[in-house]
Chains A and B, each alone.
Chain A
Amino acid sequence: MFRKEFVEEIRKARQRYEEEVNQILKRIPDADQEYVTFSGTPVKPLYSPEDIQDIDFLQEVSFPGQYPFTRGVFPAGYLSRGLHIRQVTGFGTAEETNQRWKFLLSKGANALSFVCDDGSGCRADSDDPRVRGMVGAGGVAMDTLYDYETLFDGIDIRKISVHMISYSAYSLACYLAIAESRGIEFKNLRGSMSNVIRNDVECLDIIEYCARNVPLFNAGYLDMRNTREGGCTATQEIAFGTALAMAAADALIERGLKIDDFHHRMTWFVNAGPEIFEEVAKFRAIRKVWAMIFKERYGAKDPRSLMARMHCQIYAPTMTMQQPFNNLIRGTIYALGAVMGGVQSLHVNSFDEALALPTEFSATLSVRTQQIIELETGITKVTDPLGGSYYIEWLTKKLEDEAIEIIDKIQEMGGAFKAWDWMCSEIRNAAMNNQVEFETGQRLLVGVNTLVDEDDIQMRALKVLQENADFDTLYEYSPAFAEKQVARLNKVRSERDPKAVQKAKRRLAEALKVGQNMIPPLMEAVKCGLTRGEFAQVKAEILDMPGGGPYVCSPPAVLA
């Protein structure tokens, strides 16, 4: 990045500096111990132009909106596209979640997201004995199109970006049915879903159908956020996500699509943890690796195919139940990493993350965290504000190099679908290493392995609030949700035309048998009142997928 003579001058100056600093450090106990980042990169106490001399600015860093997009996918950063404040929501029935959505919008959230209570959409209906205790518990119960209609009531999907945390073609079919009923043409329909990349016909059908019919819908999803929660490192987050997208691209190209037909609708779900500079470097490296791989190895030409767009949810394993208000501070710091790293959309975990689902009270604080960052700090006024920092540029390059190495290893193993088990074992090893660091106190966590309060006054304060507030301060699951949901389900069952359902089911089964795309017949079926459990049943029978637990057919796993 610099002239040779300049680097030589810097080298000499650095040596003089080091002599001086070493004199100081000698006198400080343990100062010679190497610091290793949260994701395992040893770092020096100082960086200078020497460390980035081999980086070519125009080729590797460049400008926002320009290849390789290291500094951001949009030329004007947040100035042209403000941060999407998108808090995950989902509990009870569609009615409760719709109300929470409207509440969040009233507080200034500008994007929405709901999480289903079934994780994958392969689960049984809400009155099945296998799902007792789970209906509307970890998400919103969504059994039929009627539930989707209730959830989307008063929500203008032309104007507001909605994400569905569901991997199921069932959710897409219902979303499309709603768009159709509102007269929105599919070619103009926006939205996104957690169609996590996995080796499964449903995943590929969704992407293929949208590539051909719903071209603005973000149909493919790299859920590295939850893989990171599972314990992987920042580098693995970059590498595994990219490798999965490559595996999906290979499979879709085999179906006769071209890379630019679908790849621009692949989006990332990323994490932002405690080590914020490493996270900023990671977001930059994701964008760069993404652009390079799909340009050089897949020949993508549409610039949109080279832009890694990201929704971020901050790291949860370090959100502690001890001293719970500390999580407000953690949430703010982690969110800063995400915003300085240029993510498009953000969820900040609530301070009561380790205790329960968020309440209106705690979710509002998550929204306010983002608003304060956006409105009061000026961070969003300068694009890629940390670009050019010797440390950040060095770390970006380091993470990039290491990620490429892992990607190449996965490719040698036959691609991400074949390397799935290897990746899982890598994640679990990393999780264990991380846990051992906390267990031994090698890595500190306030309130847990250091600065522990015998008398946790924050917890006491929260309890005082709970006892005295005339609003909810701690979410509690109500078994009444299940009764209410079963009533909603039975209403649909009693009002639908059984003959039409049977006919739609047969058509769906036929498509699955002969390998036709399942979305069109599924859309017809949901309009007739087919339930999610019935869909799962048809899929399990035709594709011969084993069930287990609350699942009718085996859940397509997120890498973890």
Chain B
Amino acid sequence: MERIRFLLSRDDWYHQRGYWVVARILSDAGVEVILGGIQTPEEIVQTAVHEDADIIGYRLMDASPPVVCEILFDELRKRGLEEIPVVVGGIVSEKDEKLIKEMGVKEVFRPFDSFEKIQERVKALVQKTGKRENPKN
């Protein structure tokens, strides 16, 4: 059974707690977490291709969400990869959440979202793409 491949990248290096905790929560649920580290949107897409990622997790701290998400989706489209689901984690205002969801972000995770919500949502999003046959475990 193939495991879901989740690319987890971040905009900047301060305040990494959420990044590492989410990595742990997902790998505890059987997801293969690829740690992208600090990356520009272009680098994220390159890594997603290279690592054959099923889903991209983008942790945002310093970057303006609509600005960097727009670049990310442009890059994905350029390579015909717009089916890869993108989720965002961090402190994102309601206004920005609306904007980035219109661009294609599937979910915004925030501090204290339950482990179950994060695990289930990621699995459900990948299942929808049908890329991995049975992403259980």
Say yes or no: A431 contacts B20, CB within 8 Å: yes
Say yes or no: A132 contacts B68, CB within 8 Å: yes
Q: How many angstroms between the C-alpha atoms of A354 and B93 in the bound complex?
A: 10
User: Which residues in chain B, 31-76, are within 8 Å of chain A measured between CB atoms?
Assistant: 37-40, 43, 61-68, 71
**A31 smallest CB distance to B (angstroms):** 29
- Chain B residues, CB < 8 A from A555: 13, 38
Q: How many angstroms between the C-alpha atoms of A206 and B75 in the bound complex?
A: 40
B107 at the interface (CB under 8 A from A): no
Say yes or no: B14 contacts A435, CB within 8 Å: no
- Chain B residues, CB < 8 A from A356: 91, 93
Q: How many angstroms between the C-alpha atoms of A230 and B17 in the bound complex?
A: 5
**A540 smallest CB distance to B (angstroms):** 15
A143 at the interface (CB under 8 A from B): no
Q: How many angstroms between the C-alpha atoms of A387 and B63 in the bound complex?
A: 44
Say yes or no: B14 contacts A354, CB within 8 Å: no
Q: How many angstroms between the C-alpha atoms of A133 and B39 in the bound complex?
A: 13
User: Which residues in chain A, 510-560, are within 8 Å of chain B measured between CB atoms?
Assistant: 548-551, 555, 557-558, 560
Q: How many angstroms between the C-alpha atoms of A119 and B10 in the bound complex?
A: 14
Partner of B21, one of A117, A130, A431: A431
Q: Is the interface of B mostly helix, strand, loop or mixed?
A: loop
Which one of B80-88, B110-118, B120-128, B129-137 contacts A?
B110-118
Which one of A129, A438, A548 has the greatest number of beta carbons of chain B within 10 Å?
A548
**A308 smallest CB distance to B (angstroms):** 24
User: Which residues in chain A, 216-237, are within 8 Å of chain B measured between CB atoms?
Assistant: 226, 229-231
Contact A321 B64, CB 8 Å, known A134-B11, A551-B38, A560-B17: no
- Chain B residues, CB < 8 A from A558: 13-14
User: Which residues in chain A, 109-151, are within 8 Å of chain B measured between CB atoms?
Assistant: 117, 119-120, 129-130, 132-134, 137-139
Say yes or no: A317 contacts B67, CB within 8 Å: no
- Chain B residues, CB < 8 A from A557: 13
Say yes or no: A439 contacts B114, CB within 8 Å: yes
Which one of A97-105, A328-336, A471-479 contacts B?
A471-479
Partner of B12, one of A132, A354, A435, A549: A549
Partner of A431, one of B14, B17, B63, B64: B17
Contact A477 B64, CB 8 Å, known A230-B15, A321-B110, A439-B115: yes
Q: How many angstroms between the C-alpha atoms of A227 and B61 in the bound complex?
A: 16
- Chain A residues, CB < 8 A from B95: 476
A179 at the interface (CB under 8 A from B): no
**A138 smallest CB distance to B (angstroms):** 3
Say yes or no: B12 contacts A317, CB within 8 Å: no
Q: How many angstroms between the C-alpha atoms of A321 and B92 in the bound complex?
A: 11
Q: List 14 A-B contacts (CB under 8 A).
A: A120-B13, A134-B12, A138-B61, A230-B20, A231-B20, A428-B24, A431-B20, A432-B20, A432-B21, A435-B21, A476-B93, A476-B95, A549-B12, A557-B13
What 4 new A-B contacts, CB under 8 Å, besides A435-B21, A555-B13?
A137-B63, A231-B20, A317-B111, A321-B110
Q: Which are the 4 A-B pairs with shortest beta-carbon distances?
A: A138-B62, A133-B67, A549-B38, A133-B64
